[in-house]
Structure 1
Amino acid sequence: MENRVPDFPADIQATIDRVRDDVARLHGELVRYGLVVWTGGNVSGRVPGTELFVIKPSGVSYDDLTPENMIVCTLHGVVVSDAPGSDRSPSSDTAAHAYVYRHMPDVGGVVHTHSPYAVAWAARGEDIPCVTTGMADEFGGPIPVGPFAVIGDDSIGRGIVDTLRGHRSRAVLMQNHGPFTIGVSAKDAVKAAVMCEDAARTVHLARQAGPLVPIPQEKIDALYARYQSVYGQPADERRDADRPGAAGEEG
């Protein structure tokens, strides 16, 4: 059997352990905000200073997720570390996450959910228009739809990267599937997932009541610039950080 519990240098192992703790804990936030059902959805986090990331095992109940059963993979989706004595498979979306990390080096976290309002927009293949100041703050414009792609290879990852490259949004609605979000960290990507569902719900409800009122582009630009550079405390992880994926825009 392949060795799935390798000996990493102490400093690397400490970093892996920290990311495992974060990723395991953040799955609880998906449940807390009603973004997932059963065992669907996933959070992953890049291991800084390495060519590795951490993701949850496939088909394991959220109640049973612990730091110890988070799986470490290479940026090509190959499992390199699992719990001692275990032979779990990583999330079925591992190839998609790996592709994003390879092609968007500023991304430190990726999240996939099945949140109902965002999935409803994805089922229609429709962008969520930017008609609230909250959306302008968080996403700098509409939340776009990505192409239809099936699980099993890196097709979903390619769709995510192709759609978000050159786009301010940290969320993409993969057509007929659901939302994927990126961030400078796993926590930041989870926040984007929460805000994506909030936008999807709010805009859906507004449209049922009547026509949507657009925000002029220059106002969206100003709101986004202010929120990204001024809002929050100096220690905020997005403060003074470039938009995730910016370094990947050259290809």
Structure 2
Amino acid sequence: MYEKERKELYNAHLLLEKYGLVAYTSGNVSVRIGDHVLIKPSGVPYTELKPEDFVVVDLEGNVIEGEKKPSVDTATHLYLYKHLDWAKSVIHTHSTFAMVWAILEKSIPVLCTAHADVFGEEIPLTEYAPVGSEAIGKAVLKVIGKSGAVLLRKHGVMIVGTSVDDAVKKAIFLEEVAKAAYFATLAGKPTPLPPDEVDRLYNQYHTKYGQK
């Protein structure tokens, strides 16, 4: 079942590892396919992960196919799919520099054009929520904006995308802008880009950039 999506999800996890956004067993990617969700199994190291390991669940969390337990973050993923009709893929990471901002309990301001291009807004911070239930999903829903990227207070990152590729791209770029913003604040007192320029850059990037 869902062989194409399994391969796509497998490659997404490899990319997260390649870019240093996940370590050992932490983090997960899921994709929605109609009323089903394909998600990483709990506690499986990336070095051992195979396409057939991914677990199919329905929107209530019932296992439809798979011999392994689904991720402990499954409830969060499902909550977001049920409340965001545009959500097709969800990623959770503990990427280092994004997590620094989450630990400091600060949203990431728009300090550079790359941030404005991809996200078009500051990366918001949730209230603290415990792992393993819908609580994180509810916290994300309160603050999520058009970027689909959110910092989980004292925890990490949640990304919502319109596709697996979209979610992976956001996860990669989020860590880059988090790193740049962190070092900029260490070196001086950077000022955010003006809101109208952020909007202009975001619209330009999303309508003119790439082979469209």
Q: Establish whether TM, by shorter chain, passes 0.5.
A: yes
1:76 correspondence with 2:60: yes
CA contact (8 A) 1:73 1:81 kept: yes
Q: Provide the C-alpha distance between the structure 2 equivalents of 1:24 and 1:168, rounded to a whole number of angstroms.
A: 26
1:197 matched residue in structure 2: 175
Deviations 1:82-111 (A, max 9, x none): 1xxx3x110110000000111111111100
CA contact (8 A) 1:99 1:154 kept: yes
2:28 matched residue in structure 1: 42
1:248 matched residue in structure 2: none
Q: 1:25 aligns with which of 4, 7, 11?
A: 11
**What SS does structure 1 have at the residue aligned with 2:154?**
coil
Q: Provide the C-alpha distance between the structure 2 equivalents of 1:122 and 1:169, rounded to a whole number of angstroms.
A: 17
Deviations 1:203-234 (A, max 9, x none): 00011110102211110010011111111112
Aligned partner letter, 1:31: E
Q: 1:162 aligns with which of 118, 142, 146?
A: 142
Aligned partner letter, 1:41: G
Q: Provide the C-alpha distance between the structure 2 equivalents of 1:40 and 1:214, rounded to a whole number of angstroms.
A: 32
Q: Provide the C-alpha distance between the structure 1 equivalents of 2:96 and 2:126, rounded to a whole number of angstroms.
A: 17
TM-score scaled by structure 2? Answer: 0.97
1:145 correspondence with 2:125: yes
1:128 correspondence with 2:108: yes
TM-score scaled by structure 1? Answer: 0.82
Deviations 1:115-151 (A, max 9, x none): 1110110011100000100100111010000111111
CA contact (8 A) 1:109 1:189 kept: yes
**What SS does structure 1 have at the residue aligned with 2:191?**
coil
2:152 matched residue in structure 1: 174
Matches within 5 A, 1:179-190: 179-190=157-168
Q: 1:65 aligns with which of 17, 38, 49?
A: 49
- Mind listing any 5+ residue stretches in structure 1 that lack a counterpart? 1-12, 235-251
CA contact (8 A) 1:76 1:99 kept: no
2:69 matched residue in structure 1: 89
1:3 matched residue in structure 2: none
Q: How many residues align?
A: 212
**What SS does structure 2 have at the residue aligned with 1:44?**
strand
Q: Provide the C-alpha distance between the structure 2 equivalents of 1:76 and 1:187, rounded to a whole number of angstroms.
A: 25
Structure 1 position 19, deviation (Å): 1.1
**What SS does structure 2 have at the residue aligned with 1:168?**
coil
- Mind listing any 5+ residue stretches in structure 2 that lack a counterpart? none
CA contact (8 A) 1:144 1:169 kept: no
Q: What's the % identity of the aligned pairs?
A: 40
